[in-house]
Amino acid sequence: MLKISGLNAGYGKFQVLFDVDVEVKKGKIVTIVGPNGSGKSTLIKSVMGLTKVYSGKILFKDEDITHLPTHLVTKRGISYLPQTGNVFGNLTVEENLMLAGYTLSKEETKKRIEETLEEFPLVKKYLRKKCGFLSGGERQMVAMAMAMMRKPEMILFDEPVASLSPKAAAEVLKKIMELNEKGITVILIEQAAKKALQLADDAILMTSGKVAYKGSAKNLLAHPELGKVYLGIKGK
């Protein structure tokens, strides 16, 4: 569904990614792990047209999206939840959802909000609250609901549970799995590697802007050296 080949990308003249080849199959959950600064965020930002791509190709459903601007990538069916700042704190939940539908007609937006709230019953409870007053977990749910407003085929999550309590993190991860069960392909960046790998089909390990491992998530979890060196996983 998503095919990245020979990707060299970065910011201005500062190259971050070197010859990255990655493939994501439809319907899967793929977790990207790796140390801080290894290029995980840069990889998914490249998909969204938020970096400078020097060479290489990014195909989504066999179509070249390499140099598309962000809003057109979104329109093709990919939603992106950045690590921070994914909701507007001074706006209510409802206003945030309305913003997420900005390319849709007013009626379509209303209809989509209703449908989305059915999928996110918890979000319905605090519809008129300002997002700034919500807990981290609640905000992440709102961000996910916003991403769903566009009926994406693929969602890219950048460390969605990084700053959450274990309980809130578990809820968010559960929701991500539910969305995946409905057919949405998921790319998930996580530092808390073990949990995120346990729920993934495939895994990509990034180190210094290169792909150090790609394959089944199970194999990476079981890999004694890669796991120990890069992920702090100490056996079972």
Ligand X SMILES: Nc1ncnc2c1ncn2[C@@H]1O[C@H](COP(=O)(O)OP(=O)(O)O)[C@@H](O)[C@H]1O
11 contacts which partner out of Mg ion, ligand X, none, CB within 5 to 8 A by kind?
A: ligand X
Near Mg ion by CB under 5 A, which window of 38-46, 134-142, 196-204, 205-213? 38-46
Near ligand X by CB under 6 A, which window of 33-41, 88-96, 109-117, 125-133? 33-41
Near Mg ion by CB under 5 A, which window of 36-44, 72-80, 127-135, 147-155? 36-44
Distances (CA, A) of 102 to 71, 95, 108, 221: 11, 11, 10, 41
Q: Are strands 154-158 and 185-189 parallel, antiparallel or unpaired?
A: parallel
38 binds ligand X (CB under 6 A): yes
Phi first, then psi, for residue 190 (nearest 5°) are: -145, 140
37 contacts which partner out of Mg ion, ligand X, none, CB within 5 to 8 A by kind?
A: ligand X
Cβ contacts of 179 within 8 Å, gap of 6 or more: 144, 148, 155, 186
41 binds Mg ion (CB under 5 A): yes
Interface with ligand X (CB under 6 A), residue from 31, 40, 140, 202: 40
Nearest Cα to Cα of residue 161 among 83, 67, 70, 58: 83
Single-letter amino acid code for the residue at 169: A
Near ligand X by CB under 6 A, which window of 20-28, 34-42, 130-138, 178-186? 34-42
How far is residue 98's CA from residue 93's CA, in Å, rounded to a whole number? 9
Residue 41 vs 185, nearer CB to Mg ion: 41
Cβ contacts of 107 within 8 Å, gap of 6 or more: none
Name the closest residue to Mg ion (Cβ).
41
Least Å distance, CB 27 to ligand X, is 25
Interface with ligand X (CB under 6 A), residue from 14, 106, 107, 167: 14
Within 10 Å of residue 32's Cβ, how many Cβ atoms?
A: 29
User: Which residues of this protein are in contact with Mg ion, per CB under 5 A?
Assistant: 41
Q: Which residues bind ligand X (CB under 6 A)?
A: 11, 14, 16, 34, 36-42
